[in-house]
Amino acid sequence: MDRVFIFAMGLLFLVIFVQVTLFHYRQNFRHWSMWIPVLGTPIFGLCLVIFTFYNAGWLRSLLTVLLAIGIIAGLFGSFMHIRGVGQRVDGYKLRNFMIGPPLTLPAMVSAVSLLGLIALHWG
């Protein structure tokens, strides 16, 4: 069952990659940090999918490091998105939270990274 869960986490990272790339492309990659999830999520996803079929110790170690970085990157992204809402006209108004940077997407990267770590080391 843990393999199925790890495979699902890999696919989820690949779906997040598509969404985050579309959002950041729409904003013309105005800040260097927009590249972090665009480059990181497909690497996380592919490594998890490969790990599902090829259980190697070095790959487990690599995924542990990558997913820990994913947690930190998601937290940093949350900070940047909250900051981005405040930089819009009128600052932290409800309208800016609704049309500005999505607050839940970076948190989802952290959450999926954490779930991936749990699945990797549960058994």
Tell me the per-residue pLDDT of 12-68, one tens digit each, with 9 for 90 and over.
Answer: 999 999 999 999 999 999 999 999 999 999 999 999 999 999 989 999 999 999 999
pLDDT of residue 123: 65
**At residue 75, what is the residue type?**
L
Q: Is the pLDDT of residue 100 over 70?
A: yes
> What pTM, to 2 d.p., does this model score?
0.91
Distance of CA 86 to the CA centre of its chain: 22
Residue 34 class from Cβ within 10 Å (0-12 exposed, 13-18 middle, 19+ buried)?
buried
Q: Is the pLDDT of residue 1 over 90?
A: no
Give the C-alpha separation, 97 to 103, whole Å.
8
pLDDT of residue 122: 86
Residues 6+ apart with CB under 8 A from 91: 85
Question: Which of the pair, 96 or 2, is modelled with greater confidence?
Answer: 96
